[in-house]
A = this chain, B = another copy of it.
């Protein structure tokens, strides 16, 4: 279906704009993606938007293909003014397109732990940029995906999607409480590894085993002691300076690349 919208107070505009808000995303189980590149990444991984919104007058062969595919799949294609697209995205210079996708099931049970030698696990990760960066790192190291423990930033927020550079669409994603994660982990093979300053071995050359779950804690608090205690392996990343921690996404990546070298060189 094709529609042209010119009114700021149009209910669809209000709905799309509200998708910047987490509650609204949860309620409708939808999220907003900005920019042709990310929408193309989604398409390449087999996901089409339910709604495609374009500024009028913008044309591009990729956009035309998208339009046709979205319409063929029963989705809606909306053209609107650049001003309304600005209002939807909250940006002064919005990308030429935005798209609404259905969010998907992020239960742990959907993950196949045997599918990859490495998994990233983040606990109480608050920054959506860090979250997206960890998804991107998952893609780079060939990890199965990212498991979000306890209250994390929303992986379907615009900032997380953008920072993931499309990896949201290609790597696994799960959300769980700690107890549920631990029960799931212990129901099969899996080594839980955390960076730690206590009773830890050097991260280089540590005895990593697949599937290896690399656990990273909250940006300011780090991991709760009880969570650390539940790990199979604690490793130390050298800290040669004044501080005792790295950015969470950086710590996850440094460990993940070490695990990659050990398990899938």
Residues of A bordering B, CB below 8 Å: 41, 44-45, 129, 133, 136-142, 163, 165-167, 170-171, 204, 237-243, 245-247, 249-250, 253-254, 257, 260-261, 264
Contact = CB atoms under 8 A, between A and B. Distances in A.
A242 B139 contact: yes
A133 B170 contact: no
A137 B250 contact: yes
Nearest to A116: B240
Given A133-B250, A254-B254, A139 B243 contact: yes
23 contacts: A129-B129, A133-B247, A136-B243, A136-B246, A137-B247, A137-B250, A138-B241, A140-B245, A141-B241, A142-B240, A142-B241, A163-B247, A165-B243, A165-B245, A167-B241, A170-B241, A238-B257, A240-B260, A240-B264, A246-B253, A250-B250, A254-B254, A254-B257
Contact of A171 (B166, B241, B254, B264): B241
Contacts of A238: 140-141, 257, 260
Contact of A139 (B140, B142, B241, B260): B241
Contacts of A254: 253-254, 257
